[in-house]
Structures are given as structure tokens and as C-alpha cells.
């Protein structure tokens, strides 16, 4: 927090009416420092001036909070923010050097504290990943100052005894309506059903005439039962280790991407190379072990790889994200970066139990996974994308932390392989996709062929 020498003319609190002898009320003004947080203001500016390259998504996330130049308490910070936004609008790089040049051109560098102060703001940032959080702190303080200012206007007018009661009432309504409307994060009233009806009918016609269906999982029977993958919903694919949940999810991601859907596959378990190997095996019908062993690929196999590069990988809108950490906030940030770049239709998270969140030490593992599940559900709604979340099954075939995960999911698919425990089973090579929850249709079991040597599941008719 700042000292009093950092402040502009100090605001006064509301008059404190104190009874005196003879029934006379005397005003007593108390000097107070308006709410502010200079450390957070510096951190916001520092984030904006250091979020370049791979960290560029934090710049957009910070501005997406809605923070404006007028919400800073220190005038120098207002000046710096405006220079940053002007550079950004022109498409120029934003860093302490370019911002200093912009301020110099305007004759405002000394007003902003000098070039050294810009570098001090960058050095004051604990972590640029929290830029949006710092901005929310600044906005909250600005809102409190605005509330104080509105209250003071009302009090001063009321004490002046000017105007009529209607004038006072009008001022009260105007000031407090404005301050409530300006509350950070305040939403307008939801629409009534009459406003939704025409859009509902239009979408219903699209669905009934087959022009609007969900994105394909890559297995036709599964699409028929679930109606495909739709924005704002979550599909949970659950299986024991090694059964094929990553394979099914990756197959679905590629199938959706081949239709032009924008997809991001976030893997906390497999490397980017392993994912590319699985895609190449499935799409090129190459034995997976030939891609993972020295000398395993024949000349014909190399031709297939080259063809996939030209005909598939060059145009496939599938992004592979391998985060440095397993934090949910990193996955969310990468997903928002995809939205800003080309859009995002499908987000795959492999898998739920590996994702971490910032929690208190006393929280249980079940509560932590529940928070991750809820976070992904909220993300699917906010970004209007479909989330595929993978979940590990325990030795008893039950989904870990199943209650919370099932509550957030629209579709829950449990993978069962009859031939795992019975190698001589008459159903060898088959897989059951048990749909345990389905908000778009009945619960059912869909059988498919498990071609694990190609790292893929396909319709039984394709075998």
C-alpha cells in the first residue's frame, strides 16, 4: 500500500453527525485514504509489459477482465496503461522499451515516473500467470472508490438542503443505479422464455432436418446414442489403466478435427511424440510398435508417414498441449489462447486425477478432483466448447471421485475390454463402450472393434 505522500488530494469520509448541547448537530470531517492497492497496479502493468512470446496469453487474459486506464489509483499508472493499450492496438510489441518510447513521443515519460519505473513494474510481478487476478484486485478497489464518490455526492447534496425531496430522490436513484450497474462482474437480468422462443424454434428445425448435429466421436453407433459432442457439455471417458481411454479420446479428437473442428488435446501423461505416433498409427494403419522401435519402419511405412504429413497433419486443426505443470489454470489459459487464435470446439484433458488446483492443505483428494471437474464444466460453458475429460478407474472398476465427476458430465462412457481377463474369449478384439449417463438419450452399451495395434477403435462394420 502507498504512503500518504503518494496520494492526490485526500477524499473525506461521510459527515459524522455529533449531537451537541442545545440540540445543534455539528459536522465532523475525518480524513481517510481511498481504497487502493499500488502493488497490484504495478503487477498488472508489469504483466502487460512482460507477457510476450509463449507468455502472450497472459496479456489478453489480463485485459479480458475489463480493466481500464481510469481504474488505476495512481495517475502515473493510468498514463502507462493508456500507452500500453495504444501500442497493442497498433499491433506493436509491448515491453518496457517500447512503452518508454511511446511515452517519450507523447512527452509523458516523466509523468509516468521515467523509464526506470517501467522496469520496476516488471520486476514487481510475482508471476505473470496471475495477471488477471491482479487486475481484478485493482478493479475491486476502483469500484469501492466509485461507491464512496457516489455516496459523498448524495450526502453533500442532502446536507446542502438545496432542491426538493424529489430532487434528492432523483439524485439517489441516479448515483446508486450507476454504481450498481458498474459493479465488476454484474450481469444483466436473464432473458425470459418469450425472448428465447424464436431462437429455440430455429435451432429445433436445424436439428430435426439434420443440419445441426454434434461433432462425431468417430464411432457411428456412439454418435447415434449420444447425438455427438455439443458445446457447453462434458464427456467423461473412464477406464482402468491400459484399457484405451486415451486411444478413444484421441480418435474422437482427430475425427472431429477432420471435419474442420478446432481441437486441443492436453496430455498430462503422454508426450507430444507419443501422441503423434498414435495418430500416425491410427490414420496410416501402421503397427504402433513399428513406430516406437529402432528400424521398425519399412520404406513403405516411411511413404505413409510422408503422405500423412502432406494430406493430414499439414491441415489438421488439432493442437497438442503438453503443459509444464499439471495446474488447471495453465490448461484454462491455453484453451483461452486457442479461442483467441482460431477458436476452440473440443478440449481433451488426459486425465482428471492428474490435474492440480490451488487449494488449501486441508482439502481432500476427492474435493480437489471435484473442483477440477467443476472447473472444466465451467470452462466448457464459458468457451462454448465440448470437453472430453478422461478419468481413471480403480481396481474395483469404480470411477475415482465418481459422484462429483458424474454430476458435471453430460455423458459418461466406461470402457470395458472382455478379452483382457479372458484371452481366449470369443469376443477377443472387441470393446464395450458402456454409456452410464446420457443427457441426450438412453443409457446403452455400444460395441466396437479394438484395433490396439493401430491405436484405434472403429465401428464393428469396418472390421
pLDDT tens digits, 72-99: 999 999 999 999 998 888 878 899 999 9
Q: Are 282 and 226 in contact (CB under 8 A)?
A: no
Residue 282, beta-bridge partner list: none
Spell out the alpha helix ranges (H) of 182-271. Answer: 193-208, 220-226, 245-257
- Tell me the backbone φ, ψ of residue 192, rounded to 5 degrees: -85, 160
Residue 120, pLDDT above cutoff 80: yes
- How high is the pLDDT of residue 45? 95
> Across residues 99-112, what is the average pLDDT?
93
Q: Are 103 and 94 in contact (CB under 8 A)?
A: no
Q: Which of 126-130, 283-287, 306-310, 360-364 has the lowest mean pLDDT?
A: 360-364
Highest mean pLDDT among 290-304, 345-359, 394-408: 290-304
- Tell me the backbone φ, ψ of residue 54, rounded to 5 degrees: -65, -25
Cell numbers 465418481 label which residue? Answer: 402
Whether CATH 1.20.1250.20 fits 38-181 = no
Can you read off the three cell numbers belonging to residue 436? 452410464
Kindly tell me the burial class for residue 21, based on how many C-beta atoms sit within 10 Å of its own C-beta (0-12, 13-18, 19 or more): exposed
Dist. CA 69–CA 85, nearest whole Å = 9
- How high is the pLDDT of residue 93? 86
Residue 20, pLDDT above cutoff 50: no
State whether the Cα torsion 296-301-305-308 is positive or negative.
Answer: negative
- How high is the pLDDT of residue 27? 47
Q: Which of 133-147, 314-328, 388-402 has the lowest mean pLDDT?
A: 388-402
Kindly tell me the burial class for residue 13, based on how many C-beta atoms sit within 10 Å of its own C-beta (0-12, 13-18, 19 or more): middle
Domain ranges (residues) in the chain? 38-181, 220-462
**pTM over the 0.85 mark:** no
Residue 160, beta-bridge partner list: none
Kindly tell me the burial class for residue 187, based on how many C-beta atoms sit within 10 Å of its own C-beta (0-12, 13-18, 19 or more): exposed
Can you read off the three cell numbers belonging to residue 272? 507430444
438 or 337: which leads in pLDDT: 438
Q: Measuring CA to CA, which residue among 234, 266, 287, 283 is closest to residue 337?
A: 266
- How high is the pLDDT of residue 407? 83
In order, the DSSP letters of 69-109 are GGG-SSHHHHHHHHHHHHHHHTT---SHHHHHHHHHHHT-T
- How high is the pLDDT of residue 385? 93
Cell numbers 460453458 label which residue? Answer: 381
How many residues are recorded in the chain?
463
> Across residues 201-206, what is the average pLDDT?
84
Question: DSSP character for 18?
Answer: E
Q: Are 261 and 439 in contact (CB under 8 A)?
A: no
* Vertex 430 angle, CA 426 and 435, to 5°: 125
Can you read off the three cell numbers belonging to residue 251? 480418435
Dihedral over alpha carbons 316, 386, 454, 319 (to 10 degrees): 40
Dist. CA 250–CA 252, nearest whole Å = 5
> Across residues 277-297, what is the average pLDDT?
88
- Tell me the backbone φ, ψ of residue 235, rounded to 5 degrees: -105, 125
Dist. CA 344–CA 455, nearest whole Å = 25
Q: Measuring CA to CA, which residue among 45, 50, 54, 40 is closest to residue 94?
A: 50
Cα 205 to chain centroid, rounded: 31
- How high is the pLDDT of residue 425? 76
* Helix axes of 299-308 and 272-284: crossing angle, nearest 10 degrees: 100
Q: Which of 69-83, 185-199, 298-312, 426-440 has the lowest mean pLDDT?
A: 185-199
Cell numbers 493508456 label which residue? Answer: 82
CATH architecture of 220-462: 3-Layer(aba) Sandwich (3.40)
Residue 19, pLDDT above cutoff 60: no
> Across residues 136-155, what is the average pLDDT?
88
Percent above pLDDT 70 for the chain: 86
Residue 360, pLDDT above cutoff 70: no
213 or 20: which leads in pLDDT: 213
Share the mean pLDDT of the chain.
Answer: 82
Dist. CA 99–CA 107, nearest whole Å = 12
Dist. CA 218–CA 254, nearest whole Å = 8
Q: Are 10 and 4 in contact (CB under 8 A)?
A: yes
Cα 123 to chain centroid, rounded: 26
Spell out the alpha helix ranges (H) of 235-361. Answer: 245-257, 272-284, 288-292, 299-308, 328-341
- How high is the pLDDT of residue 75? 94
Neighbours of 174 (CB within 10 A): 13
Residue 24, pLDDT above cutoff 80: no
Q: Measuring CA to CA, which residue among 451, 417, 458, 457 is closest to residue 434?
A: 417
For residue 378, what is the enclosing H or E element? helix 365-383
For residue 40, what is the enclosing H or E element? helix 38-50
Task: State the pLDDT confidence band at 113, using cuts at 50, 70 and 90.
Answer: very high
Amino acid at each position: 500500500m502507498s504512503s500518504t505522500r503518494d496520494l492526490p488530494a485526500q477524499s473525506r469520509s461521510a459527515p459524522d453527525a455529533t449531537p451537541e448541547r442545545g440540540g445543534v448537530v455539528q459536522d465532523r470531517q475525518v480524513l481517510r485514504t481511498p481504497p487502493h492497492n499500488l502493488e497490484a497496479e504495478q503487477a498488472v502493468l508489469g504483466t502487460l509489459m512482460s507477457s510476450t512470446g509463449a507468455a502472450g496469453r497472459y496479456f489478453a487474459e489480463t485485459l479480458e477482465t475489463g480493466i481500464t486506464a481510469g481504474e488505476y489509483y495512481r495517475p502515473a499508472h493510468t498514463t502507462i496503461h493508456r500507452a500500453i493499450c495504444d501500442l497493442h492496438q497498433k499491433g506493436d510489441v509491448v515491453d518496457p522499451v517500447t512503452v518508454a518510447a511511446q511515452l517519450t513521443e507523447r512527452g509523458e515519460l516523466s509523468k509516468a515516473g521515467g523509464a526506470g519505473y517501467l522496469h520496476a513494474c516488471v520486476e514487481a510481478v510475482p508471476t505473470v500467470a496471475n495477471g488477471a487476478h491482479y487486475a481484478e484486485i485493482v478493479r475491486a478497489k476502483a469500484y469501492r472508490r466509485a461507491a464512496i464518490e457516489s455516496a459523498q455526492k448524495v450526502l453533500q447534496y442532502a446536507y446542502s438542503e438545496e432542491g426538493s425531496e424529489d430532487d434528492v430522490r432523483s439524485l439517489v436513484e441516479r448515483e446508486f443505479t450507476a454504481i450498481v450497474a458498474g459493479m465488476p462482474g454484474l450481469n444483466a437480468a436473464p432473458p425470459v422464455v418469450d425472448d428465447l422462443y424464436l431462437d429455440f424454434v430455429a435451432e429445433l428445425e436445424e436439428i430435426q432436418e439434420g443440419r445441426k448435429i454434434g461433432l462425431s466421436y468417430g464411432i457411428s453407433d456412439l454418435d447415434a446414442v449420444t447425438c455427438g459432442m455439443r458445446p457447453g457439455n462434458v464427456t467423461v471417458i473412464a477406464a482402468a489403466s491400459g484399457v484405451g481411454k486415451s486411444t478413444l479420446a484421441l480418435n474422437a479428437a482427430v475425427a472431429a478435427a477432420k471435419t474442420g473442428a478446432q481441437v486441443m488435446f492436453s496430455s498430462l501423461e503422454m508426450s507430444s511424440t507419443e501422441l503423434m505416433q498414435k495418430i500416425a498409427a491410427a490414420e496410416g494403419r501402421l503397427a504402433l510398435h513399428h513406430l516406437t522401435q529402432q528400424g521398425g519402419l519399412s520404406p513403405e511405412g516411411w511413404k505413409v508417414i510422408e503422405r500423412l504429413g502432406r494430406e493430414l497433419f499439414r491441415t489438421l486443426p488439432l493442437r497438442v498441449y503438453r503443459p509444464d505443470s499439471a495446474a488447471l489454470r495453465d490448461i484454462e489459459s491455453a484453451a483461452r489462447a486457442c479461442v483467441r487464435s482460431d477458436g476452440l470446439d473440443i478440449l481433451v484433458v488426459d486425465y482428471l486425477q492428474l490435474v492440480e488446483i490451488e487449494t488449501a492443505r486441508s482439502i481432500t483428494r476427492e474435493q480437489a478432483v471435484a473442483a477440477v471437474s467443476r472447473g472444466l464444466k465451467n470452462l466448457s460453458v464459458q468457451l462454448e466448447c465440448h470437453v472430453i475429460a478422461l478419468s481413471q478407474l480403480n481396481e474395483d472398476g469404480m470411477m475415482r471421485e465418481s459422484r462429483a465427476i458424474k454430476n458435471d458430465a453430460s455423458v459418461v462412457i466406461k470402457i470395458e475390454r472382455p478379452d483382457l481377463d479372458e484371452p481366449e474369449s470369443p469376443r477377443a478384439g472387441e470393446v464395450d463402450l458402456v454409456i452410464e449417463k446420457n443427457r441426450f438419450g438412453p443409457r446403452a452399451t455400444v460395441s466396437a472393434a479394438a484395433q490396439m495395434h493401430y491405436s484405434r477403435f472403429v465401428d464393428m462394420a469396418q472390421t
